[in-house]
């Protein structure tokens, strides 16, 4: 090979590497700009902001059985970011966020595992049809005591937990996810390029029901005596009918957000009585 040919090939390689580096930087900037536009942002730096738990605890060893009969253990999840998304087919915000979760799973399949934890008493054939209709590309497992013990404080749907590659629980989101924020957290935990400010804070102790969440556990209200169908019907009414105290919230939201309200407990009890009697 002549000296001129070698020089030419060397120049081509240098240019190619330069273009590759330029495109990588441009992609990182593009991702950063997209995330900044629809995530929490630090007003001082203008960068997107991520908040994680200050002293995260590892999740316990788990064994889960998917609706199609496969077994997943917590050990299978090590090394990737895992999103545990508690949801139900009757929950409108849950349905609304599924396309975003499908897109995230496809885009980050080498770094991310999403597990849909179905919070329904009867995960029958309708769930398989539902998953097919929504083109869900991640495993669905039924909610079990093992899972609710591992992920405490689920009082509404959807509730989403971010777990790092080291199997430590890093964040919890109540209500419909903001896809860009979840993507940002995924990229940070997976150590992918992103220009963001990361903060660590103590876990919040007080339960607050977001407007885009549907309550499944109402303080002071016993739903254990209802059939699965009755429970679903009662929760639907509790999450839709307004409280009469003037707060502007639903009965479920008022019970969770204002424990001093004297109106919502009576309305909630009346709904359960109506559902139990078949009215």
Confidence of residue 187 (pLDDT cuts 50, 70, 90): very high
Domain ranges of the chain: 49-201, 218-277
pLDDT value of position 19: 45
pLDDT value of position 28: 42
pLDDT tens digits, one per residue of 23-61: 434 444 554 454 444 567 766 778 899 999 999 999 999
Query: Is the pLDDT at 14 greater than 80, yes or no?
Result: no
Query: Is the pLDDT at 68 greater than 50, yes or no?
Result: yes
pLDDT value of position 268: 92
Locus of tokens 């770094």: 111
- pTM, rounded to two decimals: 0.76
49-201 is classed CATH 3.30.70.890: no
Q: Name the average pLDDT for the chain.
A: 85
Query: Is the pLDDT at 96 greater than 60, yes or no?
Result: yes
| Rg, the chain, Cα only | 23
pLDDT value of position 81: 98
Q: DSSP characters for 168-214?
A: BEEEEEESS--HHHHHHHHHHHTT-S---EEEEEPPP-S----TT-E
Confidence of residue 228 (pLDDT cuts 50, 70, 90): confident
pLDDT tens digits, one per residue of 104-138: 999 999 999 999 999 998 888 899 999 999 999 99
Report whether 186 contacts 111 (CB < 8 A): yes
| Long-range residue pairs from 39-45, CB within 8 A, at least 24 positions apart, any chain | 39/178, 39/180, 39/181, 39/184, 40/181, 42/197, 45/197
pLDDT tens digits, one per residue of 241-253: 999 888 888 988 8
Query: Is the pLDDT at 140 greater than 70, yes or no?
Result: yes
């Amino acid at each position: 090979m002549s000296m001129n040919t070698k020089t030419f090939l060397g120049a081509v390689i240098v240019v190619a590497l330069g273009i590759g580096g330029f495109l990588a930087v441009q992609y990182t900037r593009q991702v950063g700009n997209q995330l900044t536009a629809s995530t929490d942002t630090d007003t001082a730096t203008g960068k997107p902001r991520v908040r994680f738990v200050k002293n995260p605890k590892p999740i316990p060893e788990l064994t889960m059985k998917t609706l199609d009969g496969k077994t997943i253990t917590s050990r299978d999840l090590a090394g990737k970011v895992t999103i545990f998304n508690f949801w139900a087919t009757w929950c409108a915000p849950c349905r609304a966020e599924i396309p975003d979760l499908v897109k995230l799973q496809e885009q980050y399949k080498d770094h991310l595992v999403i597990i849909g934890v179905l919070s329904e008493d009867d995960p029958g054939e309708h769930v398989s049809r539902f998953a097919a209709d929504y083109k869900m590309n991640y495993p669905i497992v039924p909610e079990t005591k093992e899972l609710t013990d591992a992920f405490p404080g689920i009082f509404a749907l959807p509730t989403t937990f971010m777990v790092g590659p080291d199997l430590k629980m890093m964040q919890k989101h109540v209500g419909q996810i903001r896809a860009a924020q979840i993507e940002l957290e995924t990229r940070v935990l997976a150590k992918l390029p992103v220009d963001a400010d990361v903060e660590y804070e103590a876990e919040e102790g007080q339960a607050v029901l977001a407007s885009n969440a549907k309550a499944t556990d109402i303080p002071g209200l016993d739903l254990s005596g209802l059939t699965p169908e009755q429970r679903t019907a009662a929760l639907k009414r509790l999450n839709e009918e307004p409280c009469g105290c003037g707060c502007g919230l639903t009965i479920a939201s008022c019970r969770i957000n204002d424990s001093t309200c004297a109106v919502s407990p009576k309305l909630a009890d009346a709904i359960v009585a109506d559902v139990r009697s078949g009215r």
